[in-house]
Amino acid sequence: MKDKKQTVKDNLDIFDFTSDIAVNIKSLNLYYGNFQALKEVSMELKKNEITAMIGPSGCGKSTLLKTLNRMNDLVDGCRIEGSITIGEKDIYAKDIDLSALRKNVGMVFQKPNPFPMSVYDNVAFAPRTFGIRKKAELDEIVETSLKRASIWDELKDRLNKSALGLSGGQQQRLCIARSLAAQPKILLMDEPTSALDPISTGKIEELMSELVKDLTIVIVTHNMQQATRIADRTAFFYLGELVEFADTQTLFTCPADKRTENYITGRFG
């Protein structure tokens, strides 16, 4: 944007993250066919914070997460009402560039899903998508991204080996590095540690605390301890409704809503 020759269309930085609010969700209703999965959800996600989403299975956490990078577009019969603005832009506007959106809003999935290619090619995937071809540039991005995902030391000698040979925890951190290589401003993580062992989980939590210094993280988790450990603020969902959204400390120590209390004290099972 500093360069005037750059046309608007070429620009991937269509979002303006200068304000304090990274994501603003207003009266969001989401339907899968006739089934309403999200009901009147409104929330503001702050920049450089980790926001955790908790709630029983099927309450719509993943669904909400996927509206933020429009992965729901892939689902047939999925319909949305309300608005979501990210970096001052309505991401459901007609002229939104999906690629640019997803470049800026990265996603890490529940099960590690590295592509069946080398470690290097996995990480270089997004940069290549966006036209970077020079070996030197790619090398640098790959190294930086792997370092940011704290997995560089483990993988630097096997960059050309298949990513499928890594352990589950390594695969997940590789997937994080792969997302980071797109240089996103927001990172969506859907139960990123639920398929991992405790040690890998710890590493990823550490990593998130480091990463949040320069981006915004939204994490869905089943694990309430995890939310208390890492999240600045936590949202509790129940049957498609946002029941409560507060400081993590507040939400877990003195919840305002009975349903939240029941959930965090384990009565929902």
Partner 1 sequence: MADIKNMADINNMNVAAAPTLKSRRRGSKSKMKEVTAKIIFIVCALFSIVAVLGITGYILYGSVPALREVGVFNFLFGTLWSPEYGKYGILPMIVNSVIVTFGAAVIGGTVGVFTAVFLSYWCPEKFHLEYKGKNKAAARVAALINKINLRAVFDQVIKLLAGIPSIIYGLFGLEVLVPFLANMNSAGIGQGILACSILLSVMIIPTVASLSKNAIEAVPQSYYEGALALGNTKAQAVFRAVVPAARSGIVSSLILGIGRAMGEAMAVIWISGNRTLFPTGLFSYIRTLTTNIVMEMGYATDIHRSALIATGLVLLIFILIITLSLNLVPKDFKGKRGVKKLTSSCNSDVKYLRKGKVSEGLKIFAAICAALVAICLAAVVIYIVINGIANFSFDFFFSKQQIDTPTFAPAFFATLELIAISLVIALPIGIGAAIYLHEYAKPDSRPVKIIRTFIDTLSGIPSIVFGLFGNIVFARLLGGSSVLAGALTMTLVVLPTVIRSTEESLHAVPMTLREASYGLGANKVRTIFKVVLPSAFPGIATASILSIGRILGESAALVFTMGTTLTFTGNPAERGSSFTVLLYYCANEGLYMGQAYMLALILLIFSLLLNLAVYAIQKRVKKSH
Ligand X SMILES: Nc1ncnc2c1ncn2[C@@H]1O[C@H](COP(=O)(O)OP(=O)(O)O)[C@@H](O)[C@H]1O
Residues that bind partner 1 (CB under 8 A): 1-3, 5-7, 9-13, 69, 71, 74, 76, 97-103, 106-107, 109, 111, 113, 115-117, 125-132, 137, 140-141, 143-145, 147-148, 152, 164, 175, 178-179, 182-183, 210, 213-214
Q: Among 88, 173, 176, 97, which Cα is nearest to 130's? A: 97
Binding-site string for ligand X from residue 143 to residue 172, where x marks contact by CB under 6 A and - marks none: ------------------------------
Among 28, 38, 52, 62, binds Mg ion (CB under 5 A): 62
Give CB contacts under 8 A, 24+ apart, made by 31-38. Answer: 31/78, 31/79, 31/80, 32/75, 32/77, 32/78, 33/77, 36/240, 37/63, 37/240, 38/63, 38/64, 38/67, 38/240
Among 75, 98, 164, 256, binds ligand X (CB under 6 A): 75
Q: Among 183, 244, 268, which Cα is nearest to 52's? A: 244
CB of 128 to ligand X, least distance (A): 30
Beta bridge partners of 216: 186
Pairing of strands 50-54, 233-238: parallel
State which residue, 122 or 193, has the beta carbon closest to ligand X: 193
State which residue, 72 or 200, has the beta carbon closest to ligand X: 72
- Stretch binding ligand X (CB under 6 A), from 17-25, 31-39, 139-147, 171-179: 31-39
Work out what residue 35 binds among ligand X, partner 1, Mg ion, none; the CB cut-off runs from 5 to 8 Å by kind.
ligand X
Q: How open is the CA angle 176-77-61, to the nearest 5 degrees? A: 40
State which residue, 18 or 57, has the beta carbon closest to ligand X: 57
Work out what residue 58 binds among Mg ion, partner 1, ligand X, none; the CB cut-off runs from 5 to 8 Å by kind.
ligand X
Other Cβ atoms less than 10 A from the Cβ of 165: the count is 12
Binding-site string for ligand X from residue 32 to residue 71, where x marks contact by CB under 6 A and - marks none: x--x-x-----------------x-xxxxxxx--------
State which residue, 60 or 184, has the beta carbon closest to ligand X: 60
Q: What is the DSSP code (8-state) at residue 111? A: S
CB of 266 to ligand X, least distance (A): 17
Q: Residue 235: in which H helix or E strand, if any?
A: strand 233-238
State which residue, 78 or 239, has the beta carbon closest to partner 1: 78
Q: Among 72, 62, 69, which Cα is nearest to 98's? A: 69
Inter-CA distances, 27 with 83, 84, 89, 170, Å: 7, 9, 16, 38
Q: What is the DSSP code (8-state) at residue 16? A: -
CB of 122 to ligand X, least distance (A): 25
| Count of residues in contact with ligand X, rule CB under 6 A | 12
Q: Among 220, 124, 133, which Cα is nearest to 179's? A: 124
Which residues lie near Mg ion (CB under 5 A)? Answer: 62
Which residues lie near ligand X (CB under 6 A)? Answer: 32, 35, 37, 55, 57-63, 75
